[in-house]
């Protein structure tokens, strides 16, 4: 714990350093103490952040909500109606929130991972500290990168961190993150926990079957939201008691949407759409886009927040930050569309990109064979509603809409978010929406090319391309270089994800490409085709034996199994799994056994050996993730886990 006196001492040092720095780089400045005295007054910023909720608040018109404090905050402030987490899951979203850069631009898009970032990648608290702010974080970090555990980000980051510990005349930027509505808390309420909302009165989304477990989970979710509403009330009273309410901008938002099965982790409205309420004290009312009680419909995503916060404090945002300033005198026009992303979730690889423009929600799935609900085991482990839904599907009792969660995905999804906030009616093939679809497809391509989306390169190839001993030390530097032909890889990935028989010769051509990611997508396209064709088998066999990237040997083997040679495919995947010394390659091999349907050839002894296998992990895939597949396989033995 940092005591007050220690913290104050540290703050003085930090402030002195800033004043010295300013003095050093600006010749002819007045003496430092004059400069400090002449500094204009700056607002404090308080972030009250919560977990895993969509805008299920009274202020947003939700009939089941009981949220008096947040409703009052909305009456006193501005309520944003179109705010999106760029990713539907904690660590990826929080990476964008920290850096103001899209996670697939800097390589922090996989849930979870810890890629090294170059020193040039910004982080807003460091910039606030350099400008003399006291920055405290209480307490979640989860930055999904080398910024995790970086002691230079905050003056204090712990369960005790508080703006109270700043020096007397110091402005603050304080984050408090309440975890009471995290998905893991829902089933921790005692079994007979009374809910304010009668589960029988819940209006279920059409994708959820009408089961007691689903109704009870929704009713409980509203209780958790009321708990965070109480907490918001406490935090606002504390700010008042500290005498800082009149000088503090207060932001309330959730780190992504959720939080029942089919929401958190998924690229849809319930997974990404979040509440955001901003309260401006009278003194800073001129920064607000509307008078108190106003409603702001501009499309906002998390990548906008760091730039905006810096700007509100009079600090120039670094040019690398990719969002738009949404408030204050330097406000920039809202983007026409904003980018959303989903990649690996824990132990399951996936790759989807999306867009919202305020009216449409558009998604391209690059790995359509993976059913959304055959996902990481985590949701099933912590919430009963996941298991109830799956059991209902497996008993053949779900309707067409409720069954989709367990079936392969369409390549494109397009929803009218006004008419269809639950994203049920896919308009991607509807004749009357073709012009919108074409425009959104082009906008998504443009986004991916502009940010040089590194998600197009499968993760198991990463560390044969970058690292301390390679030409590029970090993913970001690689992705920004000419070595990464983003347009060509995008074209190959889009083509492969169609699994189109008419494109077979293209896929065979991709297999021979000089870029390893294009070769990967070629094998994936042939996997989707699943044709028992000797030409395909020969081409894949050549890759299985000769590709110099282990990830490509594995995906080629996965495709070979569906092209008529499962025995050779199994042998190859087995060889790669045994030899893997890279955690991502090992994880891909475990996935490949299952998606090639050769896992029935594994013996219990094989799984037990994998259980003991701990590939060296220089790039820190959390150790337990691959083991989740192994553990599940052993628990179900001799049955197999169904993943597709
Ligand atoms: Ca979260």
Last residue of a domain, one of 305, 326, 347: 326
* Least confident among 140-144, 190-194, 206-210, 507-511: 190-194
Residue 345 pLDDT > 50, yes or no? yes
pLDDT of residue 14: 38
User: How far, in Å, is the centroid of ligand 1 from the Cα of 437?
Assistant: 30
pLDDT of residue 484: 98
Alpha carbon distance 574, 235 (integer Å): 55
* Least confident among 17-26, 33-42, 377-386, 473-482: 17-26
Pairing relationship of beta strands 294-296 and 78-84 according to DSSP bridges: parallel
Q: What is the pLDDT of residues 61-92, one digit of tens each?
A: 999 999 999 999 999 999 999 999 999 999 99
User: How far, in Å, is the centroid of ligand 1 from the Cα of 233?
Assistant: 21
385 SS3 class: helix
392: left (phi over 0), alpha (psi -120 to 50) or beta: alpha
142 and 270 assigned to the same domain: yes
User: How far, in Å, is the centroid of ligand 1 from the Cα of 90?
Assistant: 4
Question: Cis link prior to 82 (omega < 30° from 0)?
Answer: no
User: How far, in Å, is the centroid of ligand 1 from the Cα of 181?
Assistant: 8
| Continuous segment of H or E residues that includes residue 440 | helix 434-450
User: How far, in Å, is the centroid of ligand 1 from the Cα of 52?
Assistant: 5
Kindly indicate the confidence band of residue 617, based on its pLDDT and cuts at 50, 70 and 90.
low
CB 170 within 8 A of CB 8: no
562 and 543 assigned to the same domain: yes
Question: Does some domain include residue 441?
Answer: no
Residue 5 pLDDT > 60, yes or no? no
CATH number at 182 reads 3.40.720.10
Closest CA to 346 of 99, 176, 583: 583
Say which residue, 264 or 29, is predicted with more confidence. 264
24 and 82 assigned to the same domain: no
Mean pLDDT across 430-443: 98
| Continuous segment of H or E residues that includes residue 566 | helix 566-579
Alpha carbon distance 229, 514 (integer Å): 55
Last residue of a domain, one of 296, 326, 356: 326
Alpha carbon distance 115, 107 (integer Å): 7
Please give the residue range of the domain that contains residue 5: 1-39
Question: Cis link prior to 638 (omega < 30° from 0)?
Answer: yes
Alpha carbon distance 528, 498 (integer Å): 8
pLDDT of residue 72: 98
Question: Does some domain include residue 436?
Answer: no
Residue 4 pLDDT > 70, yes or no? no
Please give the tally of structural domains in the chain.
3
556 and 590 assigned to the same domain: yes
Q: What is the pLDDT of residues 580-601, one digit of tens each?
A: 988 999 999 999 999 999 999 9
Kindly indicate the confidence band of residue 375, based on its pLDDT and cuts at 50, 70 and 90.
confident
Percent of the chain with pLDDT over 90: 89
Q: Output the furthest CA–CA distance in the chain (Å, rounded).
A: 81
Distances (CA, A) of 644 to 79, 373, 394: 41, 9, 13
User: How far, in Å, is the centroid of ligand 1 from the Cα of 267?
Assistant: 14
18 and 65 assigned to the same domain: no
User: What residues does 137 pair with on adjacent strands?
Assistant: 157, 175
139 SS3 class: coil
Closest CA to 359 of 245, 255, 425, 436: 436
User: How far, in Å, is the centroid of ligand 1 from the Cα of 182?
Assistant: 6
Alpha carbon distance 383, 213 (integer Å): 9
Residue 151 pLDDT > 60, yes or no? yes
Q: What is the pLDDT of residues 87-128, one digit of tens each?
A: 999 999 999 999 999 999 999 999 999 999 999 999 999 999
97 and 174 assigned to the same domain: yes
Mean pLDDT across 468-489: 97
Say which residue, 192 or 182, is predicted with more confidence. 182
Mean pLDDT across 555-577: 98
Considering the chain, what is the average pLDDT of its residues?
93
Alpha carbon distance 263, 377 (integer Å): 15
Alpha carbon distance 142, 85 (integer Å): 15
Percent of the chain with pLDDT over 70: 93
Alpha carbon distance 324, 577 (integer Å): 44
162 and 34 assigned to the same domain: no
User: How far, in Å, is the centroid of ligand 1 from the Cα of 252?
Assistant: 14
CB 462 within 8 A of CB 584: yes
Alpha carbon distance 328, 348 (integer Å): 41
614 and 561 assigned to the same domain: yes
CB 627 within 8 A of CB 611: yes
Q: What is the pLDDT of residues 22-57, one digit of tens each?
A: 333 333 343 444 444 456 799 999 999 999 999 999
pTM, to two decimals: 0.93
Last residue of a domain, one of 326, 359, 391: 326
Residue 620 pLDDT > 70, yes or no? no
78 token code pair: 């501005």
User: How far, in Å, is the centroid of ligand 1 from the Cα of 142?
Assistant: 10
578 and 594 assigned to the same domain: yes
pLDDT of residue 435: 97
User: How far, in Å, is the centroid of ligand 1 from the Cα of 368?
Assistant: 25
239 token code pair: 């700010």
pLDDT of residue 613: 85
User: How far, in Å, is the centroid of ligand 1 from the Cα of 455?
Assistant: 21
84 and 117 assigned to the same domain: yes
5 and 86 assigned to the same domain: no
Question: Does some domain include residue 139?
Answer: yes
Cβ-defined contacts of 69-75 (< 8 Å, 24+): 69/229, 69/230, 69/232, 69/233, 69/236, 70/229, 70/232, 70/252, 70/275, 70/277, 73/232, 73/236, 73/250, 73/252, 73/277, 73/279, 74/277, 74/293, 75/292, 75/293
User: How far, in Å, is the centroid of ligand 1 from the Cα of 254?
Assistant: 8
Mean pLDDT across 166-187: 97
Kindly indicate the confidence band of residue 619, based on its pLDDT and cuts at 50, 70 and 90.
low
Kindly indicate the confidence band of residue 622, based on its pLDDT and cuts at 50, 70 and 90.
low
* Least confident among 187-196, 426-435, 506-515: 187-196
| Continuous segment of H or E residues that includes residue 556 | helix 550-561
């Amino acid at each position: 714990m940092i005591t007050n006196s220690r913290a104050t001492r540290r703050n003085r040092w930090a402030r002195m350093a800033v004043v010295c720095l300013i003095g050093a780089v600006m010749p002819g400045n007045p003496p430092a103490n004059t400069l400090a005295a002449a500094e204009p007054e700056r607002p404090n910023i308080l972030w009250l952040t919560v977990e895993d909720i969509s805008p299920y608040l009274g202020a947003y018109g939700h009939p089941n909500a009981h949220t008096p404090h947040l409703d009052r905050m909305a009456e006193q402030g501005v309520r944003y109606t179109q705010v999106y987490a760029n990713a539907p899951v904690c660590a990826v979203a929080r990476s964008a929130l920290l850096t103001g850069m899209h996670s697939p631009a800097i390589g922090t898009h996989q849930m979870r991972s810890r890629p090294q970032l170059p020193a040039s990648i910004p982080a807003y608290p460091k910039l606030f500290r350099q400008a003399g702010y006291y920055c405290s974080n209480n307490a979640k970090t989860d930055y999904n990168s080398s910024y995790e555990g970086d002691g230079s980000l905050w003056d204090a980051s712990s369960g005790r961190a508080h703006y109270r510990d700043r020096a007397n005349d110091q402005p603050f930027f304080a984050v408090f993150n309440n975890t009471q509505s995290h998905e893991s808390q829902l089933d921790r309420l005692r079994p007979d926990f009374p809910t304010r909302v009668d589960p029988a009165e819940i209006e279920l989304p059409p994708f959820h079957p009408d089961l007691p477990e689903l109704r009870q989970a929704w009713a409980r979710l509203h209780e958790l939201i009321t708990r965070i509403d109480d907490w918001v009330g406490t935090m606002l009273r504390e700010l008042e008691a500290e005498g800082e309410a009149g000088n503090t901008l207060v932001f309330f938002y959730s780190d992504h949407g959720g939080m029942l099965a089919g929401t958190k982790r998924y690229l849809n409205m319930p997974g990404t759409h979040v509440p955001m309420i901003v309260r401006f004290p009278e003194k800073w009312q001129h920064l607000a886009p509307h008078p108190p009680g106003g409603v702001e419909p501009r499309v906002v995503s998390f990548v906008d927040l760091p730039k905006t916060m810096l700007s509100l404090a009079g600090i120039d945002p670094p040019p690398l930050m990719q969002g738009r300033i949404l408030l204050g005198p330097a406000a920039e026009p809202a983007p026409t569309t904003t980018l959303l992303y989903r990649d690996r979730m824990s132990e399951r690889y996936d790759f989807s990109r999306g867009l919202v423009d305020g009216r449409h929600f558009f998604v391209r799935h690059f790995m359509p064979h993976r059913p959304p609900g055959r996902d990481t085991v985590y949701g099933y482990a912590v919430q009963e509603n996941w298991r109830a839904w799956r059991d209902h599907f497996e008993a053949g009792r779900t309707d067409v809409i409720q069954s989709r969660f367990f079936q392969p995905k369409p390549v494109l999804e397009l929803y009218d978010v006004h008419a269809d906030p639950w994203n049920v009616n896919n308009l991607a093939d509807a004749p009357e929406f073709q012009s919108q679809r074409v425009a959104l497809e082009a906008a998504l391509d443009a986004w991916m090319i502009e940010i040089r989306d590194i998600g197009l390169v499968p993760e198991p190839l990463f560390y044969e391309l970058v690292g301390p001993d390679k030409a590029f030390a970090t993913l970001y530097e690689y992705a920004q270089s000419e070595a990464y032909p983003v347009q060509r890889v995008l074209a190959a990935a889009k083509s492969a994800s169609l699994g189109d028989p008419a494109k077979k010769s293209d896929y065979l051509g991709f297999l021979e490409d000089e870029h390893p990611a294009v070769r990967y997508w070629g094998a994936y396209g042939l996997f989707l085709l699943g044709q028992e064709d000797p030409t395909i088998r020969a081409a894949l066999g050549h890759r299985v034996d000769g590709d110099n990237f282990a990830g490509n040997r594995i995906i080629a083997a996965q495709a070979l199994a569906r092209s008529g040679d499962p025995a050779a495919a199994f042998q190859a995947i087995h060889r790669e799994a045994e030899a893997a010394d890279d955690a991502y390659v090992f994880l891909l091999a475990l996935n490949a056994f299952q998606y090639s349907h050769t896992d029935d050839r594994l013996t219990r002894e094989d799984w037990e050996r994998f259980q003991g296998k701990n590939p060296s992990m220089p790039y820190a895939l959390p150790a337990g993730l691959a083991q989740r597949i192994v553990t599940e396989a052993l628990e179900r033995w001799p049955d197999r886990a169904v993943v597709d």
